[in-house]
């Protein structure tokens, strides 16, 4: 056995380099003496385990070539070999696009690497790649001038505050590793726009970067603060999903406003949703969304903002017959479950986190 | 024997299979060839000494074009100008691009730039629809590359686009911000709807549609035959150039150079082949569309009067939009001409004033008209029959002025823009018009 292997290796290495290997049709070699040698040409390197295996068999059979009766069988083996075809696979180290796209590194790339990739193993993809996004939507890539302001705000408001409350290991474990940045909003056929989406705790897509202005940027008007609040609402919302997909919240939560969840949430205004004990209209779409909308709203509005929201619920019953007191109680129950969930599951003081997030946001807009 | 047959039965397919194989058509692997093509494209983009002129035809413009100047470098950066608006025509923007092997090699403008402005789904950015923008692309497959032209096709909307090697002067003009002449954009300020320029012995009527970036040029040749041509236009350093030249016998109009604008007289001059010509306002069309009034009047009826001819701004008169102030009417939404509307008291042509009351479209009053009289030359007269409903006194001036204007005795000419929009121009002096769209 070893003998044949050695023979094979020596032959192949000495006389048959892949570059000059010839291709001989099996129909010719089949009727010639020394058919096996011709068929050897089909192996392009000693490193292929399949080639090694077949050569061993051929060599072994070669010993038996006196036995003419075996010839059809040998030919059959050759034909099996021929199925492998002799295509040169080329330079496998130089397949275009393998390992992702490449562009010359810019200052922005360097900044992302230093600020997010090195400390948190997070990267942000901002150069257009349609495959990351919905193929049916009209979207645009983000403006380069928005990237560093957006990402540094993300770090300041979201990453730094969680790190301060829960430690960097918490964040390094749960942080979605992949940000995809999109310049425009994602417009839905029902007239709504999507501001962000998350996939499996791995990636977050952020839309509408091109409308991002902080108070330090030229062209900022107070109305832009809405965009900032929406953007962090989106991030906290998606991160909330990651948290509850890791450890589910108490199922009691789902029973607080049971029966009021609806797919037609977009036909309901936020104010109407409040009247039913939901923090936003979108919270009405499903309990999971409700839970993370609570997290996102409480964090981005701050304690005062949230209290103001709860107190804005007007007297009288809602369209769905929920009284003012019931709506307030619904929201307060949800609030308590969120706070307890953060405490019991993640050992995070929610109110302290809320204060940090809100003040970081205020520094961007006031 | 049986065994041998079995063996041959097995071997025979091997010969058949083997006939197919091992024909090496290409000397290199697909990856090598893709890399070669990408490198070649990259080189041709970068190596154009004075950069490239770009022409993109967004889907929503139906043939209108936006022109660009691009200078690519080999570190994925591109500098550009765009004639989309007067600012982008003189403001250099640098962004990134890359070439990528998808099903075809593609050129991607991969961060936001003037190219993506056209594709922005925020309609307020480019005047397109919300959700789709102008239906344009910023990722293009590279179709053909010749010495001086690269033909591109958008990946998402099949947007047509071309890159043409720029001349030295193009590069100089863009970088020295010479592309600031937008006098052509002032033409809608002419007091008259119709504008004519006479070059040689031919008079051309020029109608500009700024929204779609198209011009319609009408002329009557020596044999009395009317010609009409619609073409996109893009801006040059001194004027505009047509995407398709106007060829009239021996005379060719490639565009207008040195377009001037006199803000006092509200008139313009252009030069064609080095000679300056005035652009004159005209009271009537060069060749009225005699069939347009009937098409316009019959269209809602053919659709069962499910909709009518609507206008948001009402009449434009003597250079003033919404000359009668209809938009100031309380709860005003739009006005609409409804031919042959069936009421219990009879069938009327009605000028509806749609209001929004309690979140519902409401009609409280409507001046009524007789069916229009259409003359053989395309002129159309409306005559007032009366008024249905009661107009609040605060709104009566705007309503009655509009109704009286519609009943103006000289009548109107119709200019069809597309199947669902017409402009109706007062025949008295061509200074009053209203734009209808089917709604």
Helix H, strand E, coil C: the string for B118-163 is HHCCCHHHHCCECCCECCCCCEEEEEEECCCEEEEEECCCCCEEEE
The answer to whether the Cα torsion of B141, B144, B146, B150 is positive or negative is: negative
- B320 Cβ contact partners less than 8 Å away, ≥ 6 residues apart: none
**By mean pLDDT, which of A125-129, B21-25, B65-69, B95-99 is the weakest?**
B21-25
Comparing B186 with A77, which gets the higher pLDDT? Answer: B186
Per-residue confidence (pLDDT) for residue A199, from 0 to 100? 74
Beta bridge partners of B306: none
Which residue, among B343, B340, B297, B328, has the nearest Cα to B436 in the 3D structure? Answer: B297
The residue of chain B nearest to residue A127, with distances taken between CA atoms, is B110
Greater confidence (A54 vs B181) lies with: B181
Which is it for the CA torsion A213, A215, A220, A226, positive or negative? positive
Q: Do residues B312 and B326 make contact, with C-beta atoms less than 8 angstroms apart?
A: no
Which positions in chain B touch A97 (Cβ < 8 Å)?
100-101
Q: Which of residues 160-189 of B touch A (CB under 8 A)?
A: none
Contact B114/A at CB under 8 A: no
User: Nearest chain B Cα to A42, which residue?
Assistant: B22
pLDDT tens digit sequence for B205-217: 999 998 899 999 9
In terms of C-beta distances under 8 Å and separation of at least 24 residues, what long-range contacts does B202-208 make, across chains too?
B202/B248, B202/B251, B203/B286, B204/B246, B204/B253, B205/B282, B205/B285, B205/B286, B205/B287, B206/B279, B207/B415, B208/B184
Distance CA A328, CA B299 (A): 56
Give the per-residue pLDDT at A230: 83
Q: Are A283 and A293 in contact (CB under 8 A)?
A: yes
Q: What is the pLDDT of residues B38-60, one digit of tens each?
A: 999 999 999 999 999 999 999 99
State mean pLDDT over B224-244.
Answer: 94
Q: In tens digits, what is the pLDDT along chain A, a chain of 366 residues?
A: 333 332 333 333 333 333 333 333 332 233 333 333 333 333 334 444 555 555 565 566 554 455 555 666 666 665 555 555 555 666 666 677 776 778 889 999 999 999 999 999 999 999 999 888 888 899 999 999 999 999 999 999 999 999 999 999 999 999 988 899 999 999 988 777 888 887 766 888 999 999 888 888 887 888 778 878 888 998 899 899 989 989 999 999 999 998 899 888 888 888 899 999 999 999 999 999 999 999 999 999 999 999 999 999 989 888 888 999 999 999 999 999 999 999 999 999 999 999 999 999 998 887
To the nearest whole angstrom, how far is the Cα of B299 from the nearest Cα of chain A?
29
- Say yes or no to pLDDT of B395 above 70: yes
From the list B68, B151, B142, B135, the residue with the least C-alpha distance to B100 is B142
CB contact under 8 A, A91 and B32: yes
Task: Name the band, by pLDDT with cuts 50, 70 and 90, for residue B23.
Answer: low
Composition of chain B by helix, strand, coil, percent to 5: 20, 45, 35
Please answer whether residues B121 and A140 qualify as being in contact, where contact means their C-beta atoms are separated by less than 8 angstroms: yes
Interface test with B, best of A95, A138, A183 (most B CBs within 10 A): A138
- The strand ranges marked E within B327-401 are 332-343, 346-357, 360-363, 365-369, 373-374, 380-381, 384-389
Q: Minimal Cα–Cα distance from A280 to chain B, Å?
A: 23
| Residues 6 or more apart whose Cβ sits within 8 Å of residue A290 | A253, A257, A261, A278, A279, A283, A284, A334
Q: Which candidate in B30, B31, B78 is best for mutational testing of the A interface (most A CBs within 10 A)? A: B31
What single DSSP character describes residue B48? -
**Would you place residue B33 in the very low, low, confident or very high pLDDT band (cuts 50, 70, 90)?**
confident
CB-CB contact of A167 with A160 (8 Å): no
pLDDT bin (cut points 50, 70, 90) of residue B302 is very high
Q: Which CA distances in Å does B180 have to B9, B91, B117, B163, B431?
A: 81, 10, 19, 22, 29
ipTM value of the model? 0.82
Nearest CA in chain A to B112: A143
User: What is the distance, to the nearest Å, from the Cα of residue A243 to the centroid of all Cα atoms in its chain?
Assistant: 15
- Specify whether the backbone of A221 is left (phi greater than 0), alpha (psi in -120 to 50) or beta: beta
Residues A87, B30: Cα–Cα separation, whole Å:
11
Q: By CA distance, what is B98's nearest residue in A? A: A103
Per-residue pLDDT at A3: 33
The 10s digit of each residue's pLDDT in B240-287 is 999 999 998 888 999 999 999 999 999 999 999 899 999 999 999 999
End-to-end Cα spacing for chain A: 81
- Nearest chain B Cα to A189, which residue? B131
Q: Determine which of A69, A107, A141 to mutate to test the interface with B (most B C-beta atoms within 10 Å).
A: A141
Interface A-B: count of C-beta contacts within 8 A: 139
Contacts of B10 in chain A (CB under 8 A): 72, 76
Q: Which of A37-46, B2-11, B287-296 has the lowest mean pLDDT?
A: A37-46
How far apart CA B417 and CA B437 sit, in angstroms, is: 9
Mean pLDDT of chain B: 91
Contacts of B87 in chain A (CB under 8 A): none
Q: Closest residue of A to B94, CA-based?
A: A144
Q: Which pLDDT belongs to residue A28?
A: 27
Chain A contact set for B135 (CB, 8 A): 138
**What does the pLDDT read at residue A317?**
86
**Of B391, B384, B354, the residue nearest B369 (C-alpha):** B384
Residues in chain A closer than 8 A to B75 (CB atoms): 104
Sheet architecture: strand order including B66-72: B93-96, B77-82, B66-72, B52-57, B160-165, B149-154, B139-145, B105-108, B98-101
A283 C-beta neighbours (distance < 10 Å), count:
29
Closest A-chain CA to B118 = A140
| pLDDT per residue as tens digits for the range B143-171 | 999 989 999 999 999 999 999 999 999 99
Q: Give the H or E element holding residue A254.
A: helix A252-256
Nearest to A25 among B18, B34, B101 (CB): B18
Q: Please give the C-alpha separations between residue A60 and each of A4, A26, A51, A336, B184, in angstroms, as whole numbers.
A: 8, 20, 14, 77, 87
| pTM of the predicted structure, to 2 decimals | 0.79
- Per this entry, what is the length of chain B? 439
Residues of A with Cβ-Cβ distance to B35 under 8 angstroms: 94, 96
Q: Is B26 in the A-facing interface, judged by CB distances under 8 Å?
A: no
Judge: A79–B119 Cβ closer than 8 Å, yes or no: no
């Amino acid at each position: 056995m070893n003998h044949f292997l050695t023979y094979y290796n020596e032959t192949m290495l000495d006389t048959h380099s892949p570059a000059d290997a010839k291709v001989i049709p099996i129909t010719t070699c089949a009727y010639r003496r020394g058919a096996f040698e011709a068929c050897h040409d089909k192996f392009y390197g000693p490193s292929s385990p399949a080639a090694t295996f077949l050569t061993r068999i051929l060599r072994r059979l070669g010993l038996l070539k006196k036995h003419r009766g075996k010839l059809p069988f040998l030919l059959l083996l050759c034909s099996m070999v021929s199925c492998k075809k002799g295509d040169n696979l080329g330079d496998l180290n130089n397949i275009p696009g393998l390992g992702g796209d490449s562009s010359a590194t810019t200052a922005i790339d360097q900044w992302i690497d230093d600020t997010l990739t090195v400390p948190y193993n997070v990267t942000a993809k901002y150069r257009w790649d349609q495959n990351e996004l919905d193929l049916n939507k009209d979207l645009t890539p983000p403006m380069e001038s928005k990237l560093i302001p957006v990402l540094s705000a993300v770090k300041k408001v979201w990453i730094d505050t969680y790190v301060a409350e829960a430690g960097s290991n918490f964040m390094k474990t749960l942080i979605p590793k992949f940000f995809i940045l999109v310049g425009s909003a994602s417009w839905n056929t029902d007239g709504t726009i999507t501001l962000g989406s998350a996939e499996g705790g791995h990636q977050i897509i952020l839309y509408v970067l091109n409308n991002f202005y902080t108070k330090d940027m030229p062209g900022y008007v107070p109305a832009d603060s809405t965009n900032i609040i929406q953007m962090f609402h989106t991030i906290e919302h998606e991160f909330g999903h990651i948290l509850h997909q890791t450890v589910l919240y108490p199922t009691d939560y789902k029973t607080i406003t049971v029966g009021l969840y609806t797919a037609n949430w977009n036909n309901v205004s936020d104010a109407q949703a409040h009247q039913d004990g939901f923090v936003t209209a979108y919270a009405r779409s499903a309990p999971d969304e409700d839970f993370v909308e609570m997290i996102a709203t409480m964090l981005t509005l701050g304690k005062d903002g949230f209290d103001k929201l709860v107190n804005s619920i007007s007297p009288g019953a809602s369209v769905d017959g929920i009284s003012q007191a019931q709506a307030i109680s619904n929201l307060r129950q949800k609030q308590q479950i969120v706070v307890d969930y953060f405490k019991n599951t993640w050992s995070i003081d929610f109110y302290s986190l809320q204060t940090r997030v809100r003040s970081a946001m205020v520094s961007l807009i006031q | 024997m049986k065994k041998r047959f079995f063996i041959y039965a097995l071997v025979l397919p091997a010969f058949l299979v083997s006939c197919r194989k091992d024909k090496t058509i290409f000397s290199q692997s697909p990856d090598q060839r893709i890399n070669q093509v990408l490198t070649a494209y990259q080189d041709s983009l970068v190596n154009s000494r004075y950069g490239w002129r770009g022409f993109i035809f967004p889907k929503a413009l139906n043939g209108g074009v936006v022109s660009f100047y691009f200078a690519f470098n080999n570190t994925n950066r591109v500098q550009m100008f765009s004639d989309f608006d007067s600012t982008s025509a003189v403001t250099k923007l640098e962004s990134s691009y890359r070439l990528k092997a998808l099903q075809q090699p593609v050129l991607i403008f991969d961060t936001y730039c003037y190219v993506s402005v056209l594709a922005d789904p925020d309609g307020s950015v480019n005047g397109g629809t919300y959700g789709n923008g102008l239906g344009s692309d910023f990722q293009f497959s590279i179709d053909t590359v010749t010495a001086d032209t690269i033909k591109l096709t958008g990946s998402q909307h099949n947007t047509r686009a071309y890159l043409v090697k720029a001349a030295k002067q193009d590069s100089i003009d863009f970088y020295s911000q010479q592309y600031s002449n937008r006098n052509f954009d002032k033409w809608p300020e002419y007091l008259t709807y119709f504008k004519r320029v006479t070059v040689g012995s031919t008079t051309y009527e020029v109608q500009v549609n700024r929204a779609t970036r198209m011009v319609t040029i009408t002329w009557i040749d020596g044999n009395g035959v009317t010609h009409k041509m619609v073409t996109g236009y893009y801006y040059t350093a001194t004027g505009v150039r047509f995407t398709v030249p106007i060829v009239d016998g021996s005379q060719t109009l490639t565009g207008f150079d040195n377009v001037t604008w006199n803000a006092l007289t509200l008139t313009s001059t252009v030069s064609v082949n080095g000679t300056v010509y005035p652009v004159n306002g005209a009271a009537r069309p060069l060749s009225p569309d005699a069939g347009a009034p009937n098409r316009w009047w019959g269209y809602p009826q053919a659709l069962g009067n499910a909709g009518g001819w609507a206008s948001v701004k009402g009449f434009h008169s003597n250079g003033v939009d919404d000359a009668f102030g209809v938009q100031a009417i309380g709860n005003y939404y739009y006005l609409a001409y409804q031919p042959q509307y069936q009421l219990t008291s009879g069938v009327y042509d009605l000028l509806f004033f749609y209001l929004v009351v309690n979140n519902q479209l409401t009609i409280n009053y409507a001046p009524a008209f007789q069916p229009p009289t259409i003359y053989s030359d395309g002129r159309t007269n409306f005559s007032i029959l009366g008024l249905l409903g009661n107009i609040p006194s605060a709104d009566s001036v705007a309503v009655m002025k509009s109704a009286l204007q519609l009943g103006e005795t000289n009548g109107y000419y119709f200019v069809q823009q597309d199947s669902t929009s017409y402009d109706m121009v007062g025949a008295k002096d061509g200074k009053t018009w209203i734009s209808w769209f089917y709604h």
